């Protein structure tokens, strides 16, 4: 599924998520709920900075899969899967399990077709070599 379409569905599905952005493996913005590209870029930049800071917190170098920061009046969630990153902001006291589930589902919807394509390509290569 297209990243923009997946984000639109996420926004419709989740009443808690206020804004969200999807980043590609190289950190570029794939899709955003922000109409203003500058705001999307700013959220993307903060997301990458947050992942970097979370990476430095661990004594052993480990890839960061999830970051949640809940503050007085809002929260920021970052989830990574299959090389892609999704970040979302919510209001205060979100149901974090539900938000994370929605974000993971959104990322999987974006990733799935590419994995299927890869499987098809591998199958085709095998058939060609036989």
- Binding region for other proteins (CB under 8 A): 39, 42-43, 46-47, 49-50, 53-54, 57-58, 60, 62-76, 87, 89, 92-93
Distance of closest approach, residue 124 Cβ to other proteins, in angstroms: 31
Closer residue to other proteins, CB minimum distance, 2 or 49: 49
Rg of the chain (C-alpha set)? 16
The rounded Cα 111 to chain-centroid distance in angstroms is 10
Closer residue to other proteins, CB minimum distance, 72 or 127: 72
Closer residue to other proteins, CB minimum distance, 57 or 129: 57
Closer residue to other proteins, CB minimum distance, 58 or 121: 58
On whether the CB atoms of residues 47 and 23 are closer than 8 A, the answer is: yes
Which phi and psi angles does 79 have, rounded to 5°?
-130, 140
| DSSP symbol at 83 | T
Distance CA 14, CA 18 (A): 9
Element (H, E) at 74: strand 74-81
Distance of closest approach, residue 60 Cβ to other proteins, in angstroms: 8
What the block records as the tokens of 112 is 């799935």
Distance of closest approach, residue 62 Cβ to other proteins, in angstroms: 4
Distance of closest approach, residue 76 Cβ to other proteins, in angstroms: 4
């Amino acid at each position: 599924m297209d990243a923009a379409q997946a984000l639109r569905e996420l926004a419709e599905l989740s009443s808690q998520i206020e804004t969200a952005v999807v980043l590609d493996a190289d950190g570029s913005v794939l899709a955003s709920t922000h109409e203003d590209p500058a705001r999307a870029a700013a959220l993307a930049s903060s997301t990458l900075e947050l992942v970097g800071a979370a990476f430095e917190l661990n004594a052993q170098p480990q890839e960061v899969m999830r970051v949640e920061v809940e503050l007085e009046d809002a929260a920021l969630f970052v989830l990574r899967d299959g090389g892609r990153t999704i970040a979302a902001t919510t209001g205060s006291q979100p149901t974090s399990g539900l938000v994370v589930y929605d974000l993971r589902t959104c990322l999987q919807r974006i990733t799935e077709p590419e994995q299927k394509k890869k499987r098809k390509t591998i199958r085709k290569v095998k058939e060609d070599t036989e």
